[in-house]
Amino acid sequence: MQKDTIKIGISACLAGEKVRFDSGHKKSNFCMEELAKHVEYKMYCPEVAVGLPIPRPTIRQVRTADTIKVCRPDGTGDVGPQLTEYGKKIATEQAGHLSGFVFCAKSPSCGMERVKIYNEAGTGNTSEGIGFFAEQIMKHNPLLPCEENGRLNDVHLRENFVMRVYTLHNWQQLVKEPVTVHRLTQFHAQYKYLLMAHNYQAYRDLGNLLGTFVGDDVNALADEYILGLMNALRRPASRKNNSNTLMHLQGYFKRDLSKIEKEEMRDAIDEYRQGLVPLYVPLTLLKHHLKVHPNEYLSKQIYFNPYPNELKLRYGL
C-alpha cells in the first residue's frame, strides 16, 4: 500500500504568511526550507480565522477574577470563546489526518506553554498560559506530536518531534485497514529498538501488553498500545540509552565480525557514549555491517531510519 503524504498543521505565520498583528511573519527556516521537502503543511491563523483584521491591535491573555480573556490590552474585544470554538472545530475535522503540529511560541492563541497572562491592571503577568487554539488541538488529539518554533532550534527536541511525526504517520497508515493482534505485533517488532533507546520500561510493558492479550476487543488494545508508544517516545533518547541499544544491535554481528571489526564497533559506541562523536558515527558503522551481513529482522528496525536521512537530524545528537 502506497503511503499518503505526511500532513502537519502549522501556525500560518511560521509558514511565512504575513498574518501577524503587524502584517509580518515569523517564518521557520527549518519547517519551510528543510522539513517541507518531505511533508505537506496545513496552515492556520486562528486570529484571522475568528475575524481579526491584518494589521490589528495586539491581543493578550488577561485574568479577570476566575476567567481568562484573550483581548486588547485595555480589556476590550475578547475573542477567547471564538478561539476556543475554532480550535475545537479544527481539532475535530483534522483528527487522524494530521501527523504533527508546529505552533508559534508565546502567542495568546497558538502558544503551547509559558504564554503570559496579565492582570486586569496590566501591571504584572505570569508565564503559565496556553494558547486558546493550541490548547484545543492538543486536548482533542492526545497522540499528536506538537512543538513550538523556538524549541525546534534545539537539536534534540527537533529530532524527537520529527521522529514522533513519522511514527504517528506510520501508525495512521497501519490502522487504515482492520487491526489484528498479528499486525500490531509486527508493528511493535519494527519499533523494538527505537523504544528501547527512549524508554526501556515501556519497551517491556508494551511487548507484554501485546504478548498477553486475551479477548476480542483488538481496537481497545490498539488504542492502549499507541498511546503508550507515543508517550514513551516523547522524551529524547539519552546517550546512555542509545549506547545500550547500540550494544544490543552489535550483538547480532558477533559471529560475523573479525576481532578488529568488533573493537572498531565498540570504540565507536564508547566514543559516542562519552560525547566525542555524534550518534550517526556508530549508526553508520552498524548500517555498513548490516549491508555486508544482511539480517531481515534488523533491516526492518525503525531505529536505523526513523525519518529521511536528508534531514541530517542525528548529526548533532
Tell me the mean pLDDT in the region 274-295. Answer: 96
Contact 282, 275 (CB under 8 A): no
Q: How confident is the model at residue 4 (pLDDT cuts 50, 70, 90)?
A: confident
Q: What is the pLDDT of residue 124?
A: 86
| Orientation angle between helical segments 259-273 and 239-250, nearest 10 degrees | 170
Q: What is the pTM of this model?
A: 0.95
Whether 3 shows a pLDDT value over 80: the answer reads no
Q: What is the pLDDT of residue 1?
A: 46
Whether 2 shows a pLDDT value over 70: the answer reads no
Whether 182 shows a pLDDT value over 90: the answer reads yes
Contact 123, 169 (CB under 8 A): no
Residue 235 has which C-alpha cell?
A: 522524551
The per-residue b/e assignment along 213-241, b for 16 or more CB within 10 angstroms, e otherwise, is beeeebeebbeebbebbbebbeebbeeeb
Residue that the C-alpha cell 498560559 belongs to:
129
Is the torsion defined by CA of 178, 182, 185, 190 positive or negative? negative
d(CA 70, CA 77): 8
